[in-house]
Amino acid sequence: MTGYAISTRESDAGTITLELKSVNSRFLDLQFRMNDDLRTLEPLLREAIMGKVQRGKVECRLSFGRKVASGASLAINESLMLSVLSDSEIGEDNLLADVQATMATALTAFVDSREREGASLETMLLSRVTDIEHIVERISPLIPQAIEQFRQKAIDRMQEALGISLNTGNATPSISKDEVQDRIRQEVTLYGIRMDVAEELTRLSGHLTETRAILKKGGQVGKRLDFMMQELNREANTLGSKAALKELSDASMQMKLLIEQMREQVQNLE
């Protein structure tokens, strides 16, 4: 997820500035921008960031501006210049301590900014979960209706194909009415099994409940939510492939749109 923080620290020798910013990425990608004389500090910075951040393309900028002595005289005083240069030298231990303190301050602010965005994303994701739950509630009563509509259509088609009317009995059938009825029952049963999406809707409801629980629990939820998005999308696709009514097909498309919106944002979470 995105985040930003900057921290500045004054020392006797100069000013340390450390800037952290991140953009969305499914994995952790660290980039460091600093002068070559500060490059030895990169492992320290990398370890600190990895201890707090799990995802995102993170850029860390470190700079050190040395203090320059000011004076009224423009004449070069060699002894004074040497003294200033000596005072400006910053020891390795002091530099390490100052950078650590600057990083700690910046990293705290950086994590706080990402947590604020995470809270906003949680609200958005829970809203999408609710939307999908409403779709499931709306279409669940349509399943028996869809099966019954198919049953009647199947009866009509098979009666026409077999040349028999079960209602009048006027036609001379090549097979008995009982055989026709058995075939119709078999056909309707088999197709009813294929088009019955009650199991998919049950699993969808279970996945949505689990997604809501993961978000409420908090912590590092990114990878778990990635998996839940895959499962939700699987069930929505199956629902679409089995849809026997336009309402079910439309519901599948609506679900997949909402799930895709969630999936894009889930990749930004830790």
pLDDT in tens, 149-175: 777 777 777 667 666 554 545 555 556
Work out the pLDDT band at 69, boundaries 50, 70, 90. low
Burial class, 238, CB count within 10 angstroms (exposed 0-12 / middle 13-18 / buried 19+):
middle
Q: What is the pLDDT of residue 108?
A: 92
| Residue 125 and residue 110 share a domain | no
Domain count, the chain: 2
Boundary-marking domain end, from 117, 148, 180? 117
Boundary-marking domain end, from 89, 117, 145? 117
CA angle 238–244–247, rounded 5-degree value: 90
Residue 109 belongs to a domain with what CATH number? 3.30.230
What is the rounded CA–CA span in Å between residue 90 and residue 141? Answer: 75
With 0.75 as the threshold, say if the pTM is over it: no
- 3 state SS for 227-238: HHHHHHHHHHHH
pLDDT at 70 over 70: no
| Residue 108 and residue 12 share a domain | yes
| Residue 37 and residue 7 share a domain | yes
Q: What is the DSSP letter of 51?
A: T
Work out the pLDDT band at 86, boundaries 50, 70, 90. very low
| Residue 57 and residue 131 share a domain | no
The amino acid occupying position 17 is T
| Residue 202 and residue 143 share a domain | yes
The b/e string for 195-204 (b: 16+ C-beta within 10 A; e otherwise) is: bbbeebbebb
Boundary-marking domain end, from 117, 147, 165? 117
pLDDT at 185 over 80: no
> Between β-strands 28-34 and 14-23, what pairing exists: parallel, antiparallel or unpaired?
unpaired
| Residue 79 and residue 126 share a domain | no
32 token code pair: 């460091």
| Residue 29 and residue 65 share a domain | yes
| Domain containing residue 142 | 120-266
Which residue(s) pair with 28 in the sheet? Answer: 56
Burial class, 183, CB count within 10 angstroms (exposed 0-12 / middle 13-18 / buried 19+):
middle
Q: Mean per-residue pLDDT for 239-255? A: 85
| Cβ-based neighbours of 49, under 8 Å, separated by 6 or more | 20, 30, 58, 60, 107
Instruction: Give pLDDT tens digits for 134-144.
Output: 999 998 888 77
Q: Which residue has the higher pLDDT, 219 or 80?
A: 219
pLDDT at 133 over 90: yes
| Residue 160 and residue 147 share a domain | yes
